[in-house]
Structure formats: structure tokens, C-alpha cells
Amino acid sequence: MTKPTLAERPAILAAKRQLKMARSTHAYVRGNTAKFYEWLDASPASRRVPQGPAIWICGDCHLGNLGPINDGGGKIAIQIRDLDQAVIGNPAHDLIRLGLSLATAARGSDLPGVTTAHMIEAMVTGYASAMADPANGDTGPEPDAVRSVKRRAIGRRWRHLAKERFATREPMIPLGDKFWPLERFERDALAELVTEPEVAALVLSLDEKDRDRTVRLVDAAYWMKGCSSLGLLRFAALVGLKNAKGRSDYALIDLKEATSPIAPAAKGAKMPKDEAIRVVEAARALSPHLGSRMVAARALDRSLFVRELSPQDLKLEVEQFSAGQAVKAAR
């Protein structure tokens, strides 16, 4: 298996990103946020895009960024999973981005062509309904496929996440195609980072029963994950929580570099200057289940956001749905 060095990473990541986007129209649209906003800006239709209130938006609201999220206490909700591009901006951009994602996903699947139009109609109807009565909180009946994903999420435990991510239940990260070896200075930086008060507090908060523990880095690797963000720093870290009796539990955390967003911000919008703090604030506003498990940090002269990975965190794919379910899910 390939185990790239630090110098080899950029070229491999660039090639992986191109390969992922070449798989389908949906993959290209999903992985190229910059091109989406270029298309939108160049389109004559952009003049007809309504100007909504300046609020936190996802900025990259495609289908793959939605899925069940665990609040840390066992409750599951379908929320936004990725806030890298989040800004205070026009909510219409999220609707257009999601609509394009739904359309390209439907066209690339086995769903009938007319389903695409029905999905977009249902999405707009659902959004309008929520805006008409924002305090209601009733999103209507869930399609069977969404309920199925949530049930599967509720039943997942650490052993499932370990098997899925590591193919092992042992406290280690096996190196291979997705997990690459770190340079010594990278590992040292992460070992120091996980003991910083805010990061350690996040890890310790995962176990309400016993917060009187010490936190240490057990293992870490560079994580080749995602598409549009390939090329940015990303690490998976296995953290040990040891109590006074010497018993250890483990938590898996995701550390990802935050950079300037491509999504356009509203004129005069006041957002944090630190990019990781921006992502965390957006997550707490838009996806509280996720935001409650995130903190901003700095390491290796980069702004990083740190989040605990829960076994219950999954994503939705249009292939999971029948035509009728896809329309209901779009709503």
C-alpha cells in the first residue's frame, strides 16, 4: 500500500481529487464549490436570485453534506455535516446548491427523469412551509429511507466505527490508502494539541460519568478524506482517556484545516477572523448536534477545527431512496 511522504502528498492528493470528480456529474458538482459559484455568477439567472436575510449558511449545501448527527447524548437528527464553507450570507445560495446536487444525483441514479423536477418542487415546498411557521418544528413524515438511516445510526457503537475506519478493534490506526504516516514534528504537534485545555475538555466531555481522566495521544495519521478539501491538512487521532484505576477508553477525533471560504459572504457581515472559529460558530448555529462536539485550535501554524467522530454520524446518498422516497426526502 502507498504510504506517501510529506513531499509526495500534494501531487497524490491533487490526482485523487481529480479522479473523484471525474466519476460522475454529481461528483464533479459536489467536489467543485468554486465552479458552482462561478456558474451562478455568470448565469443570467443570478439576477433573479432573491436576497434573503444575512444569516449563517452552509455555503456548500450538497446532498453529501447532510446526514444523521449524534448530539453526544444519544439523540439523532438529520443536520448539516460539513461547515467548511459556512458564511453569513444569502440563504438562497444554499437552496440553489442543494437543488443542483439533488438534480445531478437523481440524473446519475436509476430514478426516473421526472423525479428530478418533483424533488426540486418538494425541496422548495418544504423550505417555504418551514419559513411560514418556523417555530413549529414539524418537518412532516420522514421517508422510510431516512428513518432507516437514523435507526442504523442509533445502533452503531465504537466497534462499528473502528471496523469501518480502521478494520481493527485495537487502539491503532493502520496505515494504508486512506491513512498515511506522519512526520515526527506533526505527531509531536498533535500530541501537544490534544492536551490543550479546550481540546482536552472536548474529549473529556464525551464521557459524562468520568471526567477525572488524563488525555493522551495514542495514535495519529494523515487522513486522505473528502474531495473539495483534499490538499488541506487533515488528521485522524486516536485519543486515550485513562482514569485513576488505570482503565483506558478511546475517542476518535478529526482535525481539519480551515481556510478562507469560497462562498460569498453578505456585505458587511461580521464573522470571526480565525477561520476555524468561523466554522465552529457556524456549526453551533446551523448544526448544534455537531457544533457541540467541535472546538477551534491552532497547530503547525494552521487554523484547525477539532471534532469528535461519533459512530452514529452517517451521510445520505440518493441511491438509498426510491423515487417516492427521494421526493419526500428532498422536502
Give tens-digit pLDDT for 259-309: 999 999 999 999 999 999 999 999 999 999 889 889 999 999 999 999 987
Tell me the three state secondary structure of residue 295: strand
pLDDT grade for 2, boundaries at 50, 70 and 90: low
Using CA atoms, how far apart are residues 192 and 46, in angstroms rounded to an integer? Answer: 47
Q: Are 152 and 314 in contact (CB under 8 A)?
A: yes
Q: What dihedral angle (degrees, nearest 10) is formed by the CA atoms of 185, 186, 191, 192?
A: 70
Q: What is the mean pLDDT of residues 235-239?
A: 91
Q: Please report, as a single letter, which amino acid is at residue 179.
A: F
Judged by average pLDDT, the poorest of 44-48, 106-110, 219-223, 243-247 is 243-247
- Indicate if the pLDDT at residue 94 is higher than 80: yes
First-last CA distance in the chain: 43
pLDDT grade for 146, boundaries at 50, 70 and 90: very low
Q: Are 290 and 69 in contact (CB under 8 A)?
A: yes
Most confident of 14-18, 64-68, 160-164, 274-278: 274-278
Q: Are 37 and 263 in contact (CB under 8 A)?
A: yes
pLDDT tens digit sequence for 192-203: 999 999 998 888
* Mean predicted lDDT score pLDDT of the chain: 80
| Percent of the chain whose predicted confidence (pLDDT) is above 90 | 37
Task: With residue 194 as reference, give the H or E element that holds it.
Answer: none
Q: Look up the pTM and report it.
A: 0.81
- Indicate if the pLDDT at residue 156 is higher than 60: no
Other C-beta atoms lying within 10 Å of the C-beta of residue 121: 13
Antiparallel, parallel or unpaired: β 179-180 and 87-89? unpaired
pLDDT at position 201: 86
Other C-beta atoms lying within 10 Å of the C-beta of residue 18: 13
Other C-beta atoms lying within 10 Å of the C-beta of residue 145: 20
Residue (of 55, 81, 76) closest to 66 by Cα position: 81
